[in-house]
Amino acid sequence: MSDSGTLVEKIWQQHVVDDGDGQDLLYIDLHLIHEASSSQAFDGLRLAGRQVRRSDLTLAVEDHNVPTDTLAVTDPISREQLGALRASCAREGIELLRHGDARQGIVHVVAPELGLVQPGMTITCGDSHTSTHGAFGALALGVGTTDVEHVLATQTLALPRPRTMAVDFTGVPGAEVTAKDLMLRMLAEVGANGAHGYVIEYRGEAVRRLSMEGRMTMCNLSIEAGARAGMVAPDDTTFAYLEATPRRPTGSHWDDALAYWRTLRSDDDARFDRVLTLDVGAASRYVTWGTNPGQAVSLDGAVPDPSEFADPGQRAAAQRALHYMGLQPGTLMRDVAIDVVFIGSCTNSRIEDLRVAADVLRGRRVADGVEMLVVPGSMEIRAQAEREGLHQVFLEAGASWRFSGCSMCLGMNADRIKGASRCASTSNRNYEGRQGPRARTHLVSPAVAAATAVAGTLAAPGDLN
């Protein structure tokens, strides 16, 4: 490796415990766990007579299986899962944020909010959207349950060195174009496999201008392009965010940390394995029409005709997707009628997202026949929104205001879409059956979600009178 390096290479080097047999053993600074991917890992440890190596570098959160309309858990399978996590955390001495706790929420929302995610760290979680934490200039990797067990037991993971990819956004789009729109635009360009195996670093003025919330949305969606991780180099926006978090370093540790964090950037002459330049100066709001996040189009556009796709695989996929989605080629996206609107998930449920949605809904009503769910990403965000009176706006508009959890993002808990209803969702996956066995999902930004709730069809705030 040369002296000049990319951000990810620098972080990687700092965490190599042992290099050998083609992979590096990396130390993991923070291990996040949740109830849906950890129980078998804890069982494995127990059966082997092993213990958690660093419970003080581990944080557990209840999010995937919690109900969001009540603090009582009645579903027997959810009770069993949450009970198993509670017992494991008590036994192993792991901090656990429980359903109803003031700091509970979606794991990828809660950890940064606490200040546990800091530049230069390595982070893993048994969840693909762990990529979210790259927004802080950390290397954050989603893993499966066997790897969860490995990190619990050893605080390390053996990983192949990643290929690096720079995504350079050029131009600065209008203020209405959010991180979600930029990413759906990128996904439409590269496809659901377009960054396969890479660690992406997002660069450019359009990224620098994003808040930390926007950067988290951006990095969160990296996995939808098949990337291993996504990152944004830390800057003053990052440091200001961290300074306001409860668990940041304090005193001289803060000064030392800050001095180190300021060195965390790719060198000017660092070489990436791949560079993608995307002009977003004229980008618009984006929505999905199909059944993977790469099947996206401008809200100003129409459902594509599968015959437009040159690649036979893409053509077949588009045909299947339109059949599942019940859409006709050529239909304007703004003519697509919606039954359910979901604002939530680790992609778009942070305070900034709720503010944007409330601004659209203030003084308006959710259209007749449309059900709208607003699920804050954490109980802290819920409290903040209530301090700002946002919950009143949602309730007066006719939306349902919930406790925090993954909710309708994944059809695992009680919040799911019935039948073949059509949902405008601020989440991250529009797969077949993701939000319920026959549910049809359109991925949108919070502003589009809110405007859609009012219009009853996919809409931008400017479309409302």
Q: Does 430 bind ligand SF4 (CB under 6 A)?
A: no
Annotated ligand binding at 346? The verdict is yes
Candidates 224-232, 318-326, 405-413, 450-458 — which segment interacts with ligand SF4 by CB under 6 A?
A: 405-413
User: Which residue in 266, 265, 248 sits closest to 257, CA to CA?
Assistant: 248
User: Which residue in 425, 431, 429, 410 sits closest to 317, CA to CA?
Assistant: 431
Residues 49-78 binding another protein (CB under 8 A) are 50, 55-59, 65, 71-73, 77-78
Among 428, 430, 441, 452, binds ligand SF4 (CB under 6 A): 428
Q: Does 351 bind ligand SF4 (CB under 6 A)?
A: no
| Binding partner of 285, given ligand SF4, another protein, none, CB within 5-8 angstroms per partner class | none
Location of structure tokens 């991917």: 37
| Binding partner of 346, given another protein, ligand SF4, none, CB within 5-8 angstroms per partner class | ligand SF4
| Binding partner of 48, given ligand SF4, another protein, none, CB within 5-8 angstroms per partner class | another protein
Inter-helix orientation angle 145-154/39-47, to 10°: 50
Q: Does 410 bind ligand SF4 (CB under 6 A)?
A: yes
**Shortest spacing between CB 5 and another protein, in angstroms:** 19
Q: Does 87 bind another protein (CB under 8 A)?
A: yes
CA atoms within 13 A on the CB side of 25: 10
The pair of structure tokens assigned to 20 is 């050998």
**Shortest spacing between CB 129 and ligand SF4, in angstroms:** 5
Among 10, 31, 64, 422, binds ligand SF4 (CB under 6 A): 64
Contact 318, 325 (CB under 8 A): no
**Shortest spacing between CB 395 and another protein, in angstroms:** 24
- The DSSP-derived string for 172-188 is ---TT--HHHHHHHHHH
Q: Does 21 bind another protein (CB under 8 A)?
A: yes
Residues 285-304 binding another protein (CB under 8 A) are 292
- The DSSP-derived string for 88-142 is HHHHHT-EEE-TT-TT-B-HHHHHHHHT---TT-EEEESSGGGGGGGGGT-EEEE
Residues 391-430 binding another protein (CB under 8 A) are 410-412, 429
Residues 123-162 binding ligand SF4 (CB under 6 A) are 127, 129
Buried b (16+ CB within 10 A) or exposed e, 399-438: bebbbbbbbbbbbbbbbbbeeebbbbbbbbbbbbebbbee
Q: Does 116 bind another protein (CB under 8 A)?
A: yes
Among 30, 73, 106, 182, binds ligand SF4 (CB under 6 A): 106
In order of 10, 15, 237, 255, 261, the CA distances from 138 in angstroms are 11, 12, 15, 18, 10
Q: Does 439 bind ligand SF4 (CB under 6 A)?
A: no
Gap between the Cα atoms of 416 and 432, Å rounded: 13
**Shortest spacing between CB 226 and another protein, in angstroms:** 6
Among 184, 187, 409, 451, binds ligand SF4 (CB under 6 A): 409
The pair of structure tokens assigned to 348 is 């778009």
Residues 311-330 binding another protein (CB under 8 A) are 313-314, 316-317, 320
* DSSP code for 300: T
Residues 122-141 binding another protein (CB under 8 A) are 126-128
Amino acid identity at 215: R
Contact 212, 132 (CB under 8 A): no
**Shortest spacing between CB 394 and ligand SF4, in angstroms:** 19
Q: Does 104 bind ligand SF4 (CB under 6 A)?
A: no
The pair of structure tokens assigned to 402 is 């919930």
Gap between the Cα atoms of 372 and 397, Å rounded: 9
Burial (0-12, 13-18, 19+ Cβ within 10 Å), 323: exposed
| Binding partner of 86, given ligand SF4, another protein, none, CB within 5-8 angstroms per partner class | another protein
Q: Does 346 bind ligand SF4 (CB under 6 A)?
A: yes
Candidates 22-30, 80-88, 260-268, 404-412 — which segment interacts with ligand SF4 by CB under 6 A?
A: 404-412
Gap between the Cα atoms of 138 and 146, Å rounded: 23
Please enumerate, by residue number, every residue annotated as part of a binding site for [4Fe-4S] cluster: 346, 406, 409
For ligand SF4, the binding residues (CB under 6 A) are: 63-64, 106, 108, 127, 129, 345-346, 406, 409-410, 427-428
